[in-house]
Structure 1
Amino acid sequence: MNFNGEELMLMMLYNSGTRLGLMQELRLMQCYLLPDETALRELSEGVIEKLKLISDADFDEVGFPLN
């Protein structure tokens, strides 16, 4: 799965170490978004959808830019 730069940055900011943990953190973050923060909501939804499609092993191979 290919993640773009914005997606990788968001993933890096909320990464808890596991694919499922990251998905949970992104969902939690969405609870705090204001109604006008649609771009961040859409970005996080896109990341969650992509994370659903990959395995935990594939997630472990994602190269985060600053790791």
Structure 2
Amino acid sequence: MKTFTSEERNLMYLYNSGTRLELIDNLTDMRSYLQADETELLTLTDCVLEKLRQMNDQEFSALDLYPDFMD
């Protein structure tokens, strides 16, 4: 299973709507609004998208995508 950095996980917390494919769609949509000078967020988003595309739905379901303050 892919490991995600804390920054990657935070991005996924914000855009996760339940499924891996929905998260990919949400991040892809968000990415289209970024400006060329937002290089850090572009890079972060691309990295998360690549990892999500390489995993399957079962691996995604095993991720805990709820921040600690939600407990």
For the aligned pair, the TM-score class normalised by the smaller chain equals over 0.9
Q: Which residue of 1 aligns with 2:16?
A: 15
> Where has structure 1 moved over 2 Å in runs of 4 or more?
none
Task: Please tell me whether Structure 1 or Structure 2 has the larger radius of gyration of its CA atoms.
Answer: 2
SS of the residue 2:17 aligns to? coil
Where in structure 1 are there 5+ consecutive unaligned residues?
Answer: none
Percent identity, aligned pairs only, is 43
Question: With structure 1 as the length reference, what TM-score do the two structures score?
Answer: 0.92
Where in structure 2 are there 5+ consecutive unaligned residues?
Answer: none
Alignment of 1:1-67 (within 5 A): 1-66=2-67, 67=70
Q: Specify the code of the residue in structure 2 equivalent to 1:6.
A: E
Aligned Cα RMSD in Å? 1.1
